[in-house]
Amino acid sequence: MKCRRCKELAQIALPSHHTAFCRDCFERYFIRQIETGIRRQKMFTHEDRILCALSGGKDSLALMWVLSHLGYDVTGLHVDLGIEGSSPMARGQVEAFCQDHDLKLVVVETAPKGLGIPEVYKALKRPICPVCGKIKRYYFNKTALEGGYTALTTGHNLDDEVARLFANTLRWDQSYLSDQGPALPAEAGFAAKVKPLYRVTEFETAAFCFLKKIPHVKAPCPYSKGASFTSHKALWATLEEKSPGSKIAFYDGFLERGRPAFAALEPGHGTKLSPCRTCGYPTSVEWCGVCRLKRQVAGLPPEAAEAEE
């Protein structure tokens, strides 16, 4: 098969785009997809200060590489979750990447704050991934706001976005369907959140890291059995194989037609939020979920949360 662009021998087939590329043209295509996403969704400009959440996995490292390659003012953020074996590996990968590419990096450790994932798991004894996600989002947002960053990027790719949208569609979750997407603007207490990889698949970021020789964490987190959307992703892999282009069509269709239709059903959507009495994070109750969680993990009664910090 020949490369669509230069007619040399193709190395990477992309059935969903009915095409194949050689190595150089694939890299160019991958970067273009990200630029298109940033432009279409008006994510940020070269004037913005961008904080890029880095897990140590292929998606976030590929994103950081591309953003710095495109000349954006980008700083990495790694949240060290204190998981024995897995966290030191992830952190080491992120630190080495940033050092090798001369990129700025901020590291936040959750264990000294009483929120190491093993401790949280012991205290809650229930699937940990949703809670871990909440902790990470909290520190992403806090670090972005406190550091004066104007956009927070995460490495969610098309497969992640489609699986999440699908799950919320199955539940007809009107609130999610009315305001979610790859670019959420800043609002009181929340930094702008963007997902510049929403037009590329997991396969494509893996291929990009392989071609650019970007080492990344491959071993799954020991808690990942509870990771969400695995079965939905498998379902979509089958659909995509039978009907290439389904994923992007489903997601683009949602952004163009689904989301506006749901938004019209929910004028002035959302619950009224006010600052957490302990940390100031926006919350619908007196104390935010993370402050309540900290006390729960420490075995303290919830009422006295305001005495903390």
Please give the residue ranges that form the binding site for ligand SF4 (CB under 6 A): 81, 117, 128-129, 132-133, 221, 223-224, 227
Instruction: Output the furthest CA–CA distance in the chain (Å, rounded).
Output: 68
User: Under 8 Å CB-to-CB from 283, ≥6 apart: which residues?
Assistant: 273, 274, 275, 276, 289
Using CB under 5 A, pick the residue from 288, 293, 294, 295 that binds Zn ion. 288
Q: By CB under 5 A, how many residues form the interface with Zn ion? A: 12
3-state secondary structure of 51: strand
Q: Could you tell me the smallest distance in angstroms from the CB atom of residue 298 to ligand SF4? A: 20
Q: Which does 25 bind (CB under 5 to 8 A by kind): ligand SF4, Zn ion, none?
A: Zn ion
- The site map against Zn ion for 25-54 (x = CB under 5 A) is x-----------------------------
User: What one-character-per-residue DSSP string does 115-134 give?
Assistant: --HHHHHHHH-S--HHHHHH
Which residues between 70 and 129 bind Zn ion (CB under 5 A)?
Answer: none
**141 touching Zn ion, by CB under 5 A:** no
Please compute, for residue 214, the number of CA atoms within 13 A of its CA located in the half-sphere on the CB side: 25
Q: Could you tell me the smallest distance in angstroms from the CB atom of residue 279 to Zn ion? A: 3
**293 touching Zn ion, by CB under 5 A:** no
**234 touching Zn ion, by CB under 5 A:** no
Tokens 């539940």, located at residue = 171
Euclidean distance between CA atoms 98 and 76, whole angstroms: 8
Please compute, for residue 146, the number of CA atoms within 13 A of its CA located in the half-sphere on the CB side: 12
Q: Which does 221 bind (CB under 5 to 8 A by kind): Zn ion, ligand SF4, none?
A: ligand SF4
3-state secondary structure of 187: strand
Helix ranges (H only) for the chain are 23-40, 58-69, 86-100, 117-124, 129-146, 158-170, 174-179, 202-212, 230-242, 246-253, 259-265, 289-297
Using CB under 5 A, pick the residue from 14, 276, 293, 297 that binds Zn ion. 276
**139 touching Zn ion, by CB under 5 A:** no
Q: Could you tell me the smallest distance in angstroms from the CB atom of residue 173 to ligand SF4? A: 20
Q: Which residues of 134-150 are buried (b: 16+ CB within 10 A; e: fewer)?
A: ebbbbbbbbbbbeeebb
Stretch that binds Zn ion, among 139-147, 150-158, 188-196, 270-278 (CB under 5 A): 270-278
Q: Could you tell me the smallest distance in angstroms from the CB atom of residue 278 to ligand SF4? A: 23
Q: Which does 223 bind (CB under 5 to 8 A by kind): ligand SF4, Zn ion, none?
A: ligand SF4
* Nearer of residues 45 and 224 to ligand SF4, judged by Cβ: 224
DSSP state of 257: I
3-state secondary structure of 190: strand
Euclidean distance between CA atoms 1 and 106, whole angstroms: 44
* Nearer of residues 129 and 300 to ligand SF4, judged by Cβ: 129
**291 touching Zn ion, by CB under 5 A:** yes
Q: Could you tell me the smallest distance in angstroms from the CB atom of residue 246 to ligand SF4? A: 26
User: Under 8 Å CB-to-CB from 187, ≥6 apart: which residues?
Assistant: none
Q: Which does 245 bind (CB under 5 to 8 A by kind): ligand SF4, Zn ion, none?
A: none
* Interface residue list for Zn ion (CB under 5 A): 3, 5-6, 8, 22, 25, 276, 278-279, 281, 288, 291
